[in-house]
Amino acid sequence: IPSPLPPPLLLSQVPTRHGGGPPPSAAAASGSGGGGEKGALCQECGEQPWNYRCPGCSRLTCSLPCVQAHKRRTACSGKRPRTVPVALAQFDGNQLLSDYNLLEETSQVRESAHRLLDGFGCGFEGRHGAQLLPWLSFLGKAAERRGVRLAVQT
């Protein structure tokens, strides 16, 4: 049975958007006007042609000093917003990889939280899993009666 899907592309074969302008959602959110055709001037100094596009706001800059000045002036993190919707026409292999990495990171944080709570003798639902020694159990109940929240790490 022939597969209805084309063979997967290697990451190096995926076309990039450099010079093709920012996605519509990023240009609208940035307020910088977009543009981005090759030969356009740096939007920070206005003297040199741009070489870099800020992933966070799509601002065009020509050099490291201009990038740093842009970040100081606008308080831009320089990181692409990971949860901004992307038009299907702009969705490429790099976007897919970014989405996959975001899901992997959230999965790792979730697993880490489960391990941390298990280390305190609690399940994720907050139920006590490990049995405490009788005197520690007595101490916990006494603290609870007095309105003190006591966490015992064994």
Higher pLDDT, 55 or 24: 55
Determine the pLDDT at residue 151.
81
Higher pLDDT, 80 or 68: 68
Question: Which long-range CB contacts under 8 A does 91-98 form with residues at least 24 apart?
Answer: 92/14, 92/15, 92/17, 93/9, 93/11, 93/14, 94/11, 94/14, 94/16, 97/11
pLDDT digits (tens, 9 = 90+) for 99-114: 999 999 999 999 998 8
The fraction of the chain above a pLDDT of 70, given in percent, is 67
State how far the Cα of 112 lies from the Cα of 118, in Å rounded to an integer.
10
Would you report the helix, strand and coil content of the chain in percent, each value rounded to 5?
Answer: 40, 5, 55
Kindly give, in sequence order, each residue whose CB lies less than 8 Å from that of residue 18, ignoring residues fewer than 6 positions away.
53
In this prediction, residues 59-79 reach a mean pLDDT of 92
pLDDT digits (tens, 9 = 90+) for 35-53: 556 778 999 999 999 999 9
| CA nearest neighbour of 66 among 41, 88, 91 | 41
Q: 129, 118 in Cβ contact below 8 A? A: yes
In this prediction, residues 11-31 reach a mean pLDDT of 44
